[in-house]
Copies of this chain bind each other. A is one copy, B any other.
Amino acid sequence: MIIHMEKSHTENQLHRLKEKIESHDCKPHVIFGETLVTISVIGEVSKISLREIESLDGVAFVTRVSKPFKLCSIETQRDDHKVRVGDLEIGGNSFVTMAGPCSIESEEQTLRIAHAVKKAGAKILRGGAFKPRSSPYSFQGLGEEGLKIMKLAQEETGLLTVSEAMDLHGLELCYKYVDIIQIGARNMQNFSLLKELGKIDKPIVLKRGMSATIEEWLMSAEYILSGGNDKVILCERGIRAFDNQYARNVLDLNVIPILKKLTYLPLIVDPSHGTGYRHMVSPLSRASIAAGAQGIIVEVHDRPEEALSDGPQALLPEEFSGLMKDLRKISEALDIRFISDDVEKKKVA
């Protein structure tokens, strides 16, 4: 932490600042420049709140140098970290695909789509039973009934499953029926929920909030890790920007190289919600693997015009299958381990 005093500060104000720092068992190192007095704080500064120092009289400006996140930081040197789900390892130099309908609508719809995505090479089935809808009048999901269908699809196809929990009740149910629990963008800073996620032993897909900074996102992961669960998979899903005429969000692929420098947690991309339109999903999925993402989560629906939510962004099964072929080719060109059934078979053989 670096503190800059106002030009007009008094000796007394500087004295109070130093006492404050020392009260947190840290050491103030004062540098007298030609026009500015700067204090460098040495010690375990994470205990000191930046805003607390800022509110002292005579202080002009405070910068935090060290990162506010600790457990999920790359500096803990766990870069061989993977998140294990069933027999899969997510992270490192590999790429995984989660695919399926936005909402679980019926047993028949779910099984039909599950078989289709499995055939194309997906290893994890996505599907929502609890749907965060901006309107109280929209379809809110099948609830537990939907999760039972997910379980059935898992048993029938052998796919692993991921589904979203929106509250404690939903979390208990998801825990019971699915393999991976997804936390949506709107709940990224639902701190009460994050604390509960720290107590369980299932992998979490933590989506980025619509206007969450990278640090806020990592601090939300930190909530889960500090509770005891390190199976966190980050998921970029588009940010809110100034032009939504042709896309619902701006998919922010900058985060791929940035997060690689900051954390060892795996990162996947959701090009379906990140764009909102079918024709954009495949190009941006290809971009994601090429930039170094460790997976994607995409919506696939065979009758999008009947989908109860987000039909316009769902790939048709044949489009998804074409995408998988392209992703595999790029993975080979760039020497990335492409997780899919036949890769696993190859490993066995």
Proximity bits, A317-349, B CB within 8 Å = 1, else 0: 000000000100110111000000000000000
Q: Give residues of chain A (117-166) contacting chain B, Cβ–Cβ below 8 Å.
A: 132-138, 166
**Residues B307 and A55 in contact, CB atoms below 8 Å apart:** yes
Residue of B nearest to A335 (CB): B329
Q: Given the known inter-chain contacts A186-B189, A291-B283, please indicate yes or no for A211 contacting B210, CB distance below 8 A.
A: yes
Chain B residues with Cβ under 8 A from A106's Cβ? none
Count of A interface residues, CB-CB < 8 Å? 109
How does the 8 Å CB contact mask read for A64-97 relative to B, with 1 for contact and 0 for none?
Answer: 0110100000010000000000000000000000
Q: How many copies make up the complex?
A: 4
For residue A309, give the distance in angstroms from its CB to the closest CB of chain B.
7
Q: Which A residues from 21 to 72 make CB contacts under 8 A with B?
A: 29, 31, 33-36, 38, 40, 42-43, 46-47, 49, 51-52, 54-57, 61, 63, 65-66, 68
Question: Which residues of A from 1 to 27 have beta carbons under 8 Å from B?
Answer: 2, 4, 7, 16, 20
Q: Which of A186, A245, A307 has the most CB of B within 10 A?
A: A186
Nearest 8 pairs between A and B by C-beta?
A: A55-B311, A211-B211, A290-B290, A287-B287, A167-B192, A287-B291, A329-B333, A286-B290
